[in-house]
């Protein structure tokens, strides 16, 4: 089973082209969708989740036409949006049981077993009688996963799931997603490069509604090997460097500016070759350095 997206487009009434001829094939496992805010990630997620219609294109999940047969998709879909509401005065056990009824699990014994299994799976069984208003951000995210997993979905969509989580909660959450990807198509939409680097066997980078790069993260990193160079530069020298070279990103290290440059050979004697990582791939794709597109201003990270 795989998710096939073909030539998907969506333009909003305000003229924004949110998706522009997007085509992807997403197999079982963890698949990362990387892009900045406003890139079209959430539009694609909502379209796949049958919450809005595309202007053109097709989507197929196995033998299901996602655009035409929404009810069939919803029976096998789990969706965790970036923001979701809970009833703060209701316990995790009671609310998950309520959602199970809405999902169509009406037999009391079956529902009880399903709810218990999911709360144990997301490590919330011990706090099942605690009200959701007292949950941490990570606990709420894990509860959202439990809701999304009701009915054992074949397609699980998670939108910016680790935003705002502390490091320990992030690790627990990513481990949970990795386990889910062993049997389902799990689409992880994020702007956090490390989430994709640690979890996903395939990925796509999207910007301004178009796919800039699609493939395996390790292969994409390997393709940049020997073409990423690093140097410490003065702030006054940075504008000239940006005019003459493809600067991928600049970071501050000990109060000094460190620039990463994409080039086929050493840009200058002050530069040293560095082993690329997925951040370099991301910035190279966003800047158009992988496909000959005109590059926007280089990214800067603190």
Residues 6+ apart with CB under 8 A from 124: 92, 139, 142, 143, 146
Beta-sheet strands, E only, within the chain: 2-11, 17-27, 29-34, 56-61, 64-65, 77-80, 155-159, 185-190, 202-207, 210-215, 228-233, 246-253, 256-262, 272-273, 299-300
Three-state SS letters, 39-64: CCHHHHHHHHCCCCCCCEEEEEECCE
Decide if 146 contacts 124 (C-beta within 8 A): yes
Q: Is the pTM of this model over 0.75?
A: yes
CA atoms of 56 and 11, how far apart (whole Å):
10
Confidence at residue 293, expressed as pLDDT on a 0 to 100 scale: 38
Q: Which tokens sit at 287?
A: 């800047």
Residue spans in the chain of domains classed CATH 3.40.50.300: 2-219
Decide if 104 contacts 77 (C-beta within 8 A): no
Q: Which CATH number fits domain 2-219: 3.50.50.60, 3.40.50.300, 3.30.1280.10, 3.40.190.170?
A: 3.40.50.300
CA atoms of 132 and 191, how far apart (whole Å):
27
Confidence at residue 155, expressed as pLDDT on a 0 to 100 scale: 94
Confidence at residue 89, expressed as pLDDT on a 0 to 100 scale: 94
CA atoms of 63 and 200, how far apart (whole Å):
24
Chain centroid to CA 227: how far? 26
Decide if 183 contacts 159 (C-beta within 8 A): no
CA atoms of 276 and 221, how far apart (whole Å):
6
Of the candidates 88, 54, 86, 80, the one whose C-alpha atom is nearest the C-alpha of residue 68 is: 54
Confidence at residue 215, expressed as pLDDT on a 0 to 100 scale: 94
Decide if 51 contacts 80 (C-beta within 8 A): no
10-residue mean pLDDT series, the chain (302 residues):
95 96 95 92 94 96 94 91 85 96 92 95 94 90 90 90 79 82 89 88 95 95 94 87 91 85 92 94 89 39 34
């Amino acid at each position: 089973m795989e998710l096939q997206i073909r030539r998907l487009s969506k333009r909003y009434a305000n003229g924004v082209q949110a998706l522009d001829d997007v085509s992807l094939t997403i197999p079982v496992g963890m698949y990362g969708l990387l892009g900045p805010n406003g890139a079209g990630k959430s539009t694609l997620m909502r379209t796949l989740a049958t919450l809005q219609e595309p202007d053109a294109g097709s989507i197929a999940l196995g033998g299901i036409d996602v655009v035409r047969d929404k009810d069939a998709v919803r029976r096998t879909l789990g969706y965790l949006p970036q923001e979701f509401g809970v009833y703060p005065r209701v316990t995790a056990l009671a609310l998950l049981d309520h959602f199970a009824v809405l999902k169509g699990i009406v037999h009391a014994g079956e529902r009880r077993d399903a709810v218990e299994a999911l709360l144990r799976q997301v490590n919330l069984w011990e706090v099942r009688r605690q009200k959701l208003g007292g949950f941490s951000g990570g606990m709420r995210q894990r509860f959202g996963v439990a809701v999304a997993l009701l009915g054992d979905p074949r397609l699980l969509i998670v939108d910016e799931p680790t935003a705002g989580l502390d490091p320990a909660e992030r690790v627990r959450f990513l481990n949970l997603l990795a386990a889910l990807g062993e049997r389902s198509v799990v689409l992880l939409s994020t702007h956090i490069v490390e989430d994709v680097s640690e979890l996903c066997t395939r990925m796509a980078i999207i910007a301004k509604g178009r796919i800039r790069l699609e493939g395996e993260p390790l292969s994409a990193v390997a393709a940049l090997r020997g073409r990423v160079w690093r140097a410490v530069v003065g702030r006054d020298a940075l504008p000239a460097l940006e005019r003459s070279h493809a600067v991928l990103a600049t970071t501050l290290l000990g109060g000094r500016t460190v620039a990463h440059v994409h080039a086929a050979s050493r840009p200058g004697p002050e530069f040293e070759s560095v082993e690329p990582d997925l951040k370099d791939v991301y910035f190279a794709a966003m800047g158009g350095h992988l496909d000959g597109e005109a590059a926007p201003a280089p990214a800067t990270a603190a």
